[in-house]
Structure 1
Amino acid sequence: MKVYIAACGMGLGHASRCLKLAERLRSMGADVVFSTYGDASRLVRSEGFKVLDAPKLTYLLDQEGGVDFKLTLAKGAPELLTFIRQVAFEARQLMAERPSVVLSDSRLSTIVASRALEVPSILLLNQVKVVIPRRRPLGRLGREVKRGVERLGCEVLSLGWSMAWEVLIADFPPPYTISRANLELPARLRGKVRLVGPLIDVDRLSVRGAEDKEAAKEALGLGGRPLILLLAGGLEGERAVLLRLMLRALRGRRDVNVLASMSTPGREVYVRSGSVTVVGWIGDRATALKAADVLVTHGGHTSIAEAIYAATPMLIVPTPGHTERMNNALTAQRLGVARVVGEGGVEEVREALDELLEDRGYSHRALSLAREVARFRAVEEVCREVASLAGQ
């Protein structure tokens, strides 16, 4: 069995979860090859997998690190050409690699190419709904235009997504669904979509009791001070903005340990200032997440899911204009395991951190939720589907 995994290369969340699938598939005897781009290529190579470097797609940021929808839209024609180049690239690689099954994580180009070549495919998504980012309130006309464009985008994308043999959404079934937009499916995808749970290594990450978190702290050699873990995901500009904000908020603080990852696999970074340690990459992410008293994140789907399994309360600072992350963050807040703040307020960040560390209700709710979701084992389920499509 040969599996061709095409992972979205914007940020590291998609590649990270695909690596969990790849490791499991390899343990089942499968030959695995990746197609991705950007920082994700370095991450996958560092884990010993073959990587095919695809043309790069991205979105643009403004000077404050927020999503610049106008600039991104202005690049529409060049990005469309890049997408066409991606489809051609994927078709060439599929003909050369001759996989049994294609596993595409949010890569429409690979689904189009695999359909044209009649290669069985499974599509992994965080969500199926298109949401246009916005930073300011819209008037009535603006809201109507936004809804209309989102509906059109959803219909166009769903036409492409429907080319996949199966569509699996890496999110919890209700009532724990992180992206509530996953419950609003386009008509042509109904009956083809299944929520399987986040693609998390449950055995390594899941916390069943307070003793699991204490054991993780001991493994890291931490003293009695609480651990604040910063996992700065997204694009490079987004990571830098979040790190600067947290360094300002934590300046001079000696009652906590702070471990910050810049999410740059393969790059040597090590800076220590007082109680703050900044590294390029955390090798044992699972232990760090379990040991943490608070996770600071932009609100990426994978990061929130990992924190839920690890029973770690979250301080979520969504990128301005990144509507998907904001919606994810608000769901975590409604579940009672997170606080959501903006990127501009240092005092707001300090107050939120104090609340998360001092209010034991957050840790109690996080532990209860972790026990509830431990039964969802999406990695095993997706790998079973891959083997089934491959006729194994």
Structure 2
Amino acid sequence: MYGTGLGHSYRTAAMLRALSSRGHRAVASSWGEGLRYLRSSDIPCVEVPELDVLWGEEGKMRFRDTLRNMAAPFARFLHQLEVEGALIDRISPAMVLADSRATPLLAAKRRGLRSALVINQARLMAPRALGALRPAIEVPPAQMLGLLWSSADVVIVPDLPPPYTIASEQLGAIPQIRGKLKFVGLPIEGCQDVEPAWRPPHRPFALFTISGPEETKRPMLLKSVAAAKILARRGWSALISAARVGSSGNPRAVDEGVYICDWCNCIDQYMASADVIVARAGHTTIGRAIYYGRPSVLIPIPFHGEQESNALSAQRMGVARAILRSDLMSASELADEVEAAASIDRGKLELASAVARSVDFAELSATAVEEIL
């Protein structure tokens, strides 16, 4: 499983729990946040070498630097492939399930094992700031990734079927996998039976949930706190989650009407009750907002092409407002965006939510895996 960010972790854990309920056992492999989350969820997980893009201290994705320095990632790719192969040889699985990673697929193919790919970002997305250069940058890697992804026997897409597919732009450009796609809905498990550890003191209530690589969090957290304080002066209450796995889950007050937690236990409770959600534009976070019918302000990591695409897709659906350059936005402007999002058309939110709730992720994803066992 891809280890950067928590979206991959949430859906992998949900899928493995669904398979466990049908009598299947699994061992996962990951790194970083993904590794910590799966282990905290009591899922056996082996650490593998990290393979990721480069991040800047100012919270931006270093897209050009990543492309210029491909030798080191390629070496880590080969090392990761070796480690995955050794793990497969040790545990002798019946099949391999890979979330957004090619090395498990290649290791499985080499050993004659069937495999399933879980993915929503099927290709590299260049940032919008590159303008006319984007196709030249995106097409060659897309062709290579298409060959890698096509080695899977089935491609499980944790997304809604068209026209509500969040990752429609990322999936549409890979013809090699088009006939293998299975849309299984959103991995929303919820925790409605758990008593909330905190309730907003008054409404309207804004939830800021800032996930992603640690390097990208600090500037956005600082701006979120400043925007939350402005909203509090306008009559709002706000909770800010730093999404740090394993940290304290108890919200603490930082100002009147403004609270923060390093890790909010059962974030779904707060998302379901929020009047507006402010978040990065990760696929799983957007899916949760849609599922609960909540308007959102989506703020992609600067120069992160996939998140930009996700945010614009949600904005086209009419369920969110997208801000592509948060590094150029003031805290006051962010507060204004939150208040504007509160007026998003409820009809569109309710329709998208109804579609999301009609698709059973656990049932469909487990069935898709069992079909190739």
**Contact 2:5/2:33, CA 8 A, preserved across alignment:** yes
Q: Secondary structure of 1:289's match? A: helix
Q: 1:187 to 1:355 in 2, by over 3 A?
A: closer
CA distance in 1, matches of 2:9, 2:292: 20
Q: 1:382 to 1:273 in 2, by over 3 A?
A: same
Q: Match of 1:118, as an amino acid?
A: G
TM-score by length of 2: 0.91
Alignment of 1:1-392 (within 5 A): 7-133=1-127, 136-138=129-131, 143=132, 145-182=133-170, 184-201=172-189, 204=190, 220-252=198-230, 253-254=232-233, 255-268=235-248, 271-274=252-255, 275-341=257-323, 342-343=325-326, 344-346=328-330, 347-357=332-342, 359=343, 361-390=344-373
Cα-to-partner distance string for 1:1-45 (whole Å, 9 max, x where unaligned): xxxxxx100111101111111111222222121100011111111
Q: 1:31 to 1:137 in 2, by over 3 A?
A: closer
Q: 1:216 to 1:90 in 2, by over 3 A?
A: closer
Shift of 1:219: 8.4
Q: 1:217 to 1:309 in 2, by over 3 A?
A: farther
Q: Structure 1: where are the runs of 5+ without partners?
A: 1-6, 206-211
Q: Secondary structure of 1:17's match? A: helix
> Cα RMSD (Å) of the superposition?
2.2
Q: Indicate the larger mover: 12-21 or 271-280.
A: 271-280
Q: Secondary structure of 1:258's match? A: strand
**Contact 1:226/1:256, CA 8 A, preserved across alignment:** yes
Q: Secondary structure of 1:295's match? A: strand
**Contact 1:65/1:237, CA 8 A, preserved across alignment:** yes
**Contact 1:216/1:291, CA 8 A, preserved across alignment:** no
Shift of 1:169: 1.8
**Contact 1:101/1:119, CA 8 A, preserved across alignment:** yes
Q: Structure 2: where are the runs of 5+ without partners?
A: none
Q: Indicate the larger mover: 261-270 or 309-318.
A: 261-270
Q: Secondary structure of 2:245's match? A: coil
Q: Secondary structure of 2:238's match? A: strand
**Contact 1:55/1:86, CA 8 A, preserved across alignment:** yes
TM-score by length of 1: 0.87
Q: Secondary structure of 2:265's match? A: coil
Q: Indicate the larger mover: 220-229 or 29-38.
A: 220-229
Cα-to-partner distance string for 1:263-320 (whole Å, 9 max, x where unaligned): 1111237642122222121221221211111111111011000110011110111111
Q: Match of 1:168, as an amino acid?
A: I
**Contact 2:120/2:171, CA 8 A, preserved across alignment:** no
**Contact 2:243/2:262, CA 8 A, preserved across alignment:** yes
CA distance in 2, matches of 1:12, 1:310: 19
**Contact 1:217/1:291, CA 8 A, preserved across alignment:** no
Q: Indicate the larger mover: 215-224 or 279-288.
A: 215-224
Q: 1:62 to 1:107 in 2, by over 3 A?
A: same
**Contact 2:210/2:221, CA 8 A, preserved across alignment:** yes
Q: Give the count of matched residue pairs.
A: 366
Over the matched positions of the two proteins, sequence identity in percent amounts to 28
Q: Secondary structure of 1:31's match? A: coil
CA distance in 2, matches of 1:329, 1:365: 16
Q: Indicate the larger mover: 64-73 or 190-199.
A: 190-199
Q: 1:325 to 1:356 in 2, by over 3 A?
A: same
Q: Secondary structure of 2:26's match? A: strand
Shift of 1:148: 2.8
Q: Match of 1:243, as an amino acid?
A: L
Q: 1:355 to 1:185 in 2, by over 3 A?
A: closer
Shift of 1:193: 2.2
Q: 1:126 to 1:190 in 2, by over 3 A?
A: closer
Q: Match of 2:10, as an amino acid?
A: S
Shift of 1:218: 8.3
**Contact 2:57/2:216, CA 8 A, preserved across alignment:** no
Q: Post-superposition, which runs of at least 4 consecutive aligned residues in structure 1 deviate over 4 A?
A: 215-220
Q: 1:365 to 1:219 in 2, by over 3 A?
A: farther
**Contact 2:119/2:158, CA 8 A, preserved across alignment:** yes
CA distance in 2, matches of 1:310, 1:146: 34
Match of 1:209 in 2: none
